[in-house]
Amino acid sequence: MNRLAPWLAAVLGLAAVLAVFWPGYMSWDSAYQWWQARNDQFDSVHPPLMAMIWQLSDRVVPGPAGMFALQAALLWSALAMFAAALPVRPAWRFAIVLGLGFWPPLLAMLPHVWKDLWTLAGFAWALALLAHDVRAPHRGWRAGALLALTFACAFRHNAITGALPLVAWIGWCEAASARWLPRRGSVGGTVVFTVAMMATVMMVSGLPNYDSRVRHTERVWSVVTLWDAAAVSLAEGALVYPPGLADESLTLDELRGKFVDFSNTSVYETGKLRHSFDGPYTPAQREALEALAWSLPRDHAPAYFAHRWRLTQLLLGWDRAGLPDGLVMMPGLHQYNDNPPVAPQASALHARTLDLLRSLIDTPLFAGWIYLVACVAVIGVAAVALARRPRHAPGRASVNASLVLAAAVAASALAYALPLTLASGSAEFRYLAWPVLATLASVLLLVLDRLKQ
């Protein structure tokens, strides 16, 4: 029973989620990825690996249902694997799996067939394998965690920052066990291992983009930069776009009529801003975009950082009322191009569950800043505890691995979320999927460590 408890909880949780939300939800981008899978045409803007997996699942369970079942199974199994590594009784392992899986923000995101959920599943598996490595150190656990992080990074361009603290922990563990190093666990050895592994993760996670069926889009960040420029233009009362990036007929009033502070997509409804998704840039346009990107924070700092601060407020939930609920949950099945229609879930239980989740959106449960503050607290408590503990043994044995893992997971959440304040083009809550789970896991690891004392 000790071993089966978390897996039984995962099976029950998975069955409940599939029963309530089948066949899942599709927003515009997930519907577009299904279209790519059906037509064997991939786009580097959206993770090709996801559409490639969808091709396979579509042969077994057509539509979003197969992908929904796969991503849900990946996450619930990772939660069971994580709980199985914790030094608690079977009943607590059972409760931990259900508590994490049914945590409202995670449950609200799980039915959506999104790349963010596949990234979350990859990070969750890395977390689970590293928790087992803490309990019984073995290179196999760490190699599996590195593979899981590579998988996670294949689905989101920005996931690499969140992977870095976990890869650094793996690097330190490898340096601490390397017999050829003069000083095991030294800073130099850790840096060497970490850099090598990060380079490997970045290279391997990008391999699907080299498939001949993938259409490559240069400078995907153009849609964010042009939106930032729109905010600056409206704040300063004058267009700041260089020639080649905006139609000469564009006016401030047109821009103002389409601009919203929580998403970049609406400004492109003018049809007068030239982003790289429309087609390749000319050399002059590339130079103009790069010059614009540098000039915004340098020459228009007050307006630029005010815009970015507003996005941060919305993304991290300081102004939950200002963020449309549609950027937290997108229930429904978007119809894209010639995709076959899919019948939505129409049960009374689904309706009640959806109403309950929607009623919680404006509560602190969905406030990202609370999770990040908790992560800072975890790192602080872990640092103090580690500093107070005497070290008697060399290498890895000289530290409390569970405390360091708690701090590394919390640091991963921060490293994943904070760059979004400058790089994100939207305040969609799904961007915080991994930080939410990482916060819960790091707090749990810290509490269990303190209870042992």
Roughly how many angstroms between the first and final C-alpha of the chain, as a whole number?
27
Q: Which residues span the domain enclosing 244?
A: 222-315
* 271 torsion bin: left (phi>0), alpha (psi -120 to 50), beta (else): left
Does a structural domain hold residue 321? no
Q: What is the pLDDT of residue 28?
A: 94
CB neighbour list of residue 144: distance below 8 Å, 6 or more residues apart:
125, 129
Residue with more model confidence, 416 or 45: 416
Of the three residues 297, 315, 333, the one that is the final residue of a domain is 315
Of the three residues 275, 294, 315, the one that is the final residue of a domain is 315
Q: What is the pLDDT of residue 277?
A: 85
One domain for residues 200 and 226 = no
CB neighbour list of residue 165: distance below 8 Å, 6 or more residues apart:
408, 409, 411, 412, 415
Does a structural domain hold residue 273? yes
Q: What is the pLDDT of residue 286?
A: 93
Residue 194 has φ and ψ, to the nearest 5°, of: -65, -45
Does a structural domain hold residue 347? no
One domain for residues 240 and 195 = no
One domain for residues 379 and 422 = yes
One domain for residues 62 and 179 = yes
One domain for residues 119 and 30 = yes
Q: What is the pLDDT of residue 37?
A: 95
How far, CA to CA in Å, does 263 sit from each of 202, 260, 296, 311, 362?
A: 28, 6, 18, 9, 18
Does a structural domain hold residue 339? no
One domain for residues 208 and 259 = no
Q: Reply yes or no: is the peptide bond before residue 324 cis, omega within 30 of 0.
A: no
Q: How far apart are CA 185 and CA 233, in angstroms?
A: 51
pLDDT 10s digits, 159-180: 999 999 999 999 988 887 766 5
pLDDT 10s digits, 108-126: 999 999 999 999 999 999 9
- Domain total in the chain: 2
User: What number of CA atoms fall less than 13 Å from residue 361's CA on the CB side?
Assistant: 24
Does a structural domain hold residue 335? no
Of the three residues 315, 332, 353, the one that is the final residue of a domain is 315
One domain for residues 134 and 114 = yes
One domain for residues 111 and 32 = yes
Q: What is the pLDDT of residue 193?
A: 85
Q: What is the pLDDT of residue 434?
A: 98
One domain for residues 47 and 178 = yes
pLDDT 10s digits, 227-267: 999 999 999 999 999 999 999 999 999 999 999 999 999 99
Does a structural domain hold residue 328? no
One domain for residues 114 and 55 = yes
CA 421 to chain centre: 14
Q: How many CB atoms lie within 10 A of CB 301?
A: 11
Q: Is 188 exposed, middle or buried (0-12, 13-18, 19+ CB in 10 A)?
A: exposed
Asked if 156 and 119 count as a contact pair (C-beta separation under 8 A), the reply is: yes
Does a structural domain hold residue 329? no
One domain for residues 172 and 230 = no
**What is the model's pTM?**
0.95
Residue with more model confidence, 200 or 453: 200
pLDDT 10s digits, 372-416: 999 999 999 999 988 877 655 555 555 688 899 999 999 999 999
Does a structural domain hold residue 306? yes
Question: Which pLDDT band holds residue 186 (cuts at 50, 70, 90)?
Answer: low
Residue 43 has φ and ψ, to the nearest 5°, of: -135, 130
One domain for residues 251 and 290 = yes
